[in-house]
Structure 1
Amino acid sequence: MPTIQGFSTMRARSYVFRLPLFTRAMIAVMVAFWIVSIQSTWDVRQWGALIPNELTLSTMYRVNTFPLIHLNFFHALFNILSLTPLLERFENEFGTLTSLALFFGPLTTIPALVYIFWEKFIVKGNTAVMGASIWVFLLLGIEAIRTYKTNPYLVIGTHHVPTWTTPLVMVLVVEALIPNTSFFGHLCGVGTGYLFGLGYLKFLAPPEKALRWIEARLNLLGRLPHYVSVDQKTYGRFGVLPTSNSTTQMTPLGLMGSTQRLGP
């Protein structure tokens, strides 16, 4: 099979075909929203972005739709490539139903509401955000806490850098290198990931007994290809993964409020 500087197309193809159901669905939805955003009849970005002054009881859906919508092709592409391995790992650990409940529940609404509070009441702004990088940094926060429990420090010369700080360093790098990204939005994602990794949000996860009942009742494992059952998880639900010690502005896109994307 042809390779490009060590990249195996066969291995990549095999990896894509092994992706679990929720991860596949999220990629498909993001691609679908990007395709829809090409037309001009319906402004999907204005509809689904997290815009502080547009958030009302009737538009609370925005706290769940904003990670699925992107500014342009490259924004969507880089976020999908960054998110896929992290989300696949999470789903294989916790199961498909748990991933669905958490990512369209507390793991998205908590950073979204914190961001809204910051914009409306602290900085008095109306900066809209969108993009899946809030999930990317959230998952990086979870992974950083897990890594810290088994490998607390990175040794760089004579310095010992705590491994839990790596997502914060990445937030700074993204902010410095990529324009129009949301620094505080990324911090909201990392902070929520830290809380989840430390176990403070475990009470928000659906109980396994209820998940098993739903799976058995609907025969999800038999009906849905690539479905990850609560009893098929790679690791324990909240255990440690084993690791080796090693103000308003106008924008060209026509969004209300000044728009910052989450991620590259």
Structure 2
Amino acid sequence: MDFNSHISNLQKFIPAGSKYPPALTIGLVVFLTFLYLLDFVVPVNDTIALSPRALTSIDLNRLSLYPLGHLSIFHLVFNLLAIVTPLSIFERRHGTVYTGVVLNLLAVFTALLYCVLGLVFYPDAKVLGASAWVFSFSGFFAYKESLIKPTYTISPSYSLPTIATPLVPILIIAILVPGSSLLGHLFGLAAGYALAYGVFTKLVPPSNVIEFIEQKADRLIQLIPSVFVYYREVDAKHIRTQDDYVSVLDNDVLPVTEEHVPGATFQGQGQVLGV
């Protein structure tokens, strides 16, 4: 499978004129790196690792925070490299606050699936890592790309439904990294499909609520360095509500408002969610 071609297809979803990196995407990269280093000083991973028992013990913070922790530098770097492109594309087309809300919904949806099944089959298995998000966005974009290209050619004799292409890296990782969480990856993928099919639509705050939040936080938004772009809801909602990537691939431009203002390691038998 030509993954370079797949990335090239994803690039089509980026609105024209988006030459600066999105603020949330860059902020997440910095924050995940900071937490990884902080875990050498204080046991961050111990407090956010997700296990199925988190659901029954009402330790609900773990349901949304587990993607922030990583067990090794390889684990961290792999996930950062894998998530930057799809998350950047998503943020540019959907807005910064909207993307932040979606990240949380994806994490919780994946965690609930993992915990419900895990209470029966693997009650003590712990997972960490942003690959839940990586495969969620893989599923989301695979669905969007399938609207343009239903099948993906592997060889002259074989093809694969485009919507199923994320299953390939999931299976490869499961084979090459036995300690990774196959179910965690599959549930992350399921969350991405749910997002693509509009399951989360009513769970995201309305545009007027997001705009109100942005107005109140405007001074903080203006502190974002000018080399990064904050995508405001007032601009993003117009392109997002079309919900049709096919009709806007070549001509649509998302107007943006750029603010130019200067300005101890996890122990136990956990699983790596995403190497």
- State whether structure 2 residue 273 is matched by structure 1 residue 262: yes
In the TM superposition, 1:105-184 aligns within 5 A as 106-121=105-120, 123-155=121-153, 156-184=155-183
CA distance in 1, matches of 2:68, 2:190: 20
- Secondary structure in 2 matching 1:59: coil
Question: Residue type matched to 2:50 in 1?
Answer: L
The aligned length equals 236
Give the stretch that moved more between structures: 134-143 or 167-176.
Answer: 167-176
Distance 1:47 1:142, change over 3 A: same
Distance 1:154 1:215, change over 3 A: same
Tell me the residue number matched to 2:20: 18
Distance 1:224 1:101, change over 3 A: farther
Question: Residue type matched to 2:178 in 1?
Answer: P
Structure 1 residue 232, shift from structure 2 partner: 3.0
Question: Residue type matched to 1:203 in 2?
Answer: K
Structure 1 residue 90, shift from structure 2 partner: 1.0
In the TM superposition, 1:76-91 aligns within 5 A as 76-91=76-91
Tell me the residue number matched to 1:95: 95
Distance 1:21 1:237, change over 3 A: farther
Distance 1:61 1:202, change over 3 A: same
CA distance in 2, matches of 1:112, 1:217: 31
Distance 1:174 1:240, change over 3 A: farther
Structure 2 stretches lacking a partner, 5+ long: 1-18, 251-264
Tell me the residue number matched to 1:236: 240
In the TM superposition, 1:47-66 aligns within 5 A as 47-55=47-55, 59-66=59-66
Distance 1:95 1:71, change over 3 A: same
Q: Does the aligned pair in 2 maintain the 1:215–1:221 contact within 8 Å?
A: no
Tell me the residue number matched to 2:184: 185
Tell me the residue number matched to 1:31: 33
Distance 1:238 1:100, change over 3 A: farther
Deviations 1:219-240 (A, max 9, x none): 3696243211013339424623
Q: Does the aligned pair in 1 maintain the 2:51–2:123 contact within 8 Å?
A: no
Deviations 1:36-55 (A, max 9, x none): 1223xx32221111022345
CA distance in 2, matches of 1:54, 1:202: 26
Percent of matched pairs sharing the same residue:
28
Give the stretch that moved more between structures: 223-232 or 212-221.
Answer: 212-221
TM-score between both structures, scaled by the size of structure 1: 0.81
Structure 1 residue 59, shift from structure 2 partner: 2.4
- Secondary structure in 1 matching 2:137: helix
Question: Residue type matched to 2:267 in 1?
Answer: L
Q: Does the aligned pair in 2 maintain the 1:221–1:228 contact within 8 Å?
A: no
Structure 1 residue 84, shift from structure 2 partner: 0.9
Structure 1 residue 184, shift from structure 2 partner: 0.3
RMSD: 2.4
Distance 1:22 1:115, change over 3 A: same
Give the stretch that moved more between structures: 131-140 or 227-236.
Answer: 227-236
Deviations 1:126-180 (A, max 9, x none): 1100000010000000000001111101233233321000011221111111231
Q: Does the aligned pair in 1 maintain the 2:50–2:128 contact within 8 Å?
A: yes
Structure 1 residue 217, shift from structure 2 partner: 3.9
Structure 1 residue 18, shift from structure 2 partner: 2.2
Question: Residue type matched to 2:101 in 1?
Answer: A
Runs of 4+ deviating beyond 3 Å: 54-58
Distance 1:56 1:33, change over 3 A: farther
CA distance in 1, matches of 2:241, 2:97: 12
Q: Does the aligned pair in 2 maintain the 1:235–1:241 contact within 8 Å?
A: no
Q: Does the aligned pair in 2 maintain the 1:145–1:197 contact within 8 Å?
A: yes
Q: Does the aligned pair in 1 maintain the 2:54–2:63 contact within 8 Å?
A: no
